[in-house]
Amino acid sequence: MIQTFISRRGTDELLLFFAGWGMDTRPFAELNHIGCDCCICYDYTHLDFDASLLAGYKSIEVYAWSFGVWAASVVLPDSRLPIRHATAINGTPCGIDPKRGISPEIFTATLEHLDAASLNKFYRRMCNDRDTLNRFLEILPHRNLESLRNELASIGTGVAQYPAPRFHWDRAIVGNKDRIFPTDNQLRAWAEEHTPVTSIEAAHYLPFRPLVLERRFDKAVIKTRFESAASTYEQEGLIQEQIARHLNEIIPNPPAEGYRHILEIGCGTGKLTRLLVGRFPHARFTLNDLSPRMESHIEQLPFEHLDFVAGDAECTDFGEKYDLVVSASTIQWFTDLDGFLRRISSHLSDSGVIAFSSFIAGNLPEIRNLATTEMPYWEYDDLKRLFERYFQLDIFERQEYTLHFDSPIDLLRHLRDTGVTGTPGNRHKGFNFIKRYRETFGESQESQLTYCPVYIIAHKKKQL
């Protein structure tokens, strides 16, 4: 078994991911910025798992996919690792079984007839649709046929040796379009294990980052934090206001007919909204925020027409076409940004424009150096590639702003009063934070925070 760290940021938490047959780290590169260290396990030709490589972590979350569920079930019971939670995805502990895994006949036929053509057929069945397949082919593992054949044969031998490994899985995710591990077999296996199951609309291969982030991001907690900070956000959110002003300035002037319908995602207390209403007073506005309480902050603005839609933008069907879609300092909280951008591109008019800002890797480095976990910010290049998948980019630029404070206590107060706590689920304990801040940055009372936003202006891709 190969164990490779794709992210090593010095956090106390580790994501330990067991891949499926035939993989390497390439299909899981999206997990290199999920807010903690990440180790990928793959190639089960030998089950020589080395737990010592993971020494020092205080908390480990395990995710396993496909035959990785069987492999993890074999090697983890005696590892004595500090496993906090374990999630199985489209696989079963027994791996090969006529009723609780892959059919033995299908497994044997796959092994005996494995060649380039049959492998491509396997990938098609694994992905189930053209878009998913094309995306997978962009990050295809760098493995040759001989290594795949040897691994598959070893899995067959290993399952015969360890047919029913005992490991506690906290949750199983089962795709209802899985054509590799039959859905009914998965459900049967997990029912026998008394493991809670989440059924999703997905094929065997699916985006893994959203599944990981949905546990790391508690939207209810995020909503509560920003509601608590709403009364102080206007005064303390100096950087957010600066970002909103710059984003408004770089939004291109509308065509002759104007931006007739504008959608804002994450309007908050209205920092960007006020600027947009002043600039486009005759537009129809649809404003969204996770918290319904934010409506009271913006309803007094001089709109000609306003629709307020409360709720999680990732789960909301906005239902219409928009000439301008804007969002300031919000999308860094999204668990499935890829899915959101795909959906929002379909709601953009043919000449429509998007104008977004977000925070990227390198944001609040002072907090990252002191926290045990960190925000799963996108890397600049990865985020740019993601937007290019759905839009034609006009502007994609990063900037840096620094705030100075008289003391670490003032810095902490700023984080509290803006709702920006740096990491999901991480409470900065006051005195401990101050102590660590001074140990890291020196005894000087003056403290600082560095914000790293990216600005994105893009328009809808032309259909070929």
User: Is residue 435 scored above 80 in pLDDT?
Assistant: no
Judged on CB neighbours under 10 Å (0-12, 13-18, 19+), 254 is middle
Name the E strands within 192-271.
197-200, 261-265
Q: Within the chain, which residue ranges are assigned CATH 3.40.50.1820?
A: 2-216
- Per residue in 302-361, pLDDT (tens digit) is 888 999 999 999 999 998 999 999 999 999 999 999 999 999 999 999 999 999 999 998
* Residue 85: predicted pLDDT: 96
In angstroms, the CA 306 to CA 262 distance is 10
* Residue 29: predicted pLDDT: 92
∠ Cα 84 87 89 (to 5°): 165
- Per residue in 102-128, pLDDT (tens digit) is 999 999 999 999 999 999 999 999 999
* Residue 368: predicted pLDDT: 67
Q: What are phi and psi of 382, to 5 degrees?
A: -65, -40
Band of residue 414 on the pLDDT scale cut at 50, 70, 90 = confident
Q: Within the chain, which residue ranges are assigned CATH 3.40.50.150?
A: 219-460
Closest CA to 206 of 177, 232, 234: 177
Helices (DSSP H) in 67-218: which residue ranges?
67-75, 104-112, 116-127, 130-138, 145-161, 183-193, 209-216
* Residue 222: predicted pLDDT: 77
Closest CA to 340 of 389, 268, 269: 389
CATH for the 219-460 domain, from 2.40.50.100, 3.30.420.10, 3.40.50.150, 1.10.540.10: 3.40.50.150
How many contiguous H segments (helices) and E segments (strands) does the chain have?
16, 16
* Residue 428: predicted pLDDT: 45
What are 213's two structure tokens? 């982030």
- Helix, strand or coil, per DSSP, at residue 281: coil
* Residue 440: predicted pLDDT: 61
Which amino acid would we find at residue 183?
T
CB burial of 17-27 (b: ≥16 within 10 Å; e: otherwise) equals bbbbbbbbbeb
Band of residue 372 on the pLDDT scale cut at 50, 70, 90 = low
Band of residue 430 on the pLDDT scale cut at 50, 70, 90 = very low
CATH code of the domain occupying 2-216: 3.40.50.1820
- Per residue in 31-68, pLDDT (tens digit) is 988 888 999 999 999 999 999 999 999 999 999 999 99
**What mean pLDDT is predicted for residues 415-442?**
57
* Residue 425: predicted pLDDT: 44
Name the E strands within 247-347.
261-265, 284-289, 305-310, 322-327
Band of residue 464 on the pLDDT scale cut at 50, 70, 90 = low
In angstroms, the CA 353 to CA 51 distance is 50
Evaluate the CA torsion angle 222, 225, 228, 229 in order and state its sign: negative
In angstroms, the CA 8 to CA 11 distance is 8
- Helix, strand or coil, per DSSP, at residue 418: helix
User: Is residue 14 scored above 80 in pLDDT?
Assistant: yes
In angstroms, the CA 457 to CA 392 distance is 9
Residue with token string 């031998």: 157
In angstroms, the CA 455 to CA 246 distance is 9
* Whether this model's pTM surpasses 0.95: no
* Residue 431: predicted pLDDT: 46
Residue with token string 């069907």: 317
* CB 94 within 8 Å of CB 74: no
* CB 175 within 8 Å of CB 204: yes
In angstroms, the CA 66 to CA 90 distance is 5
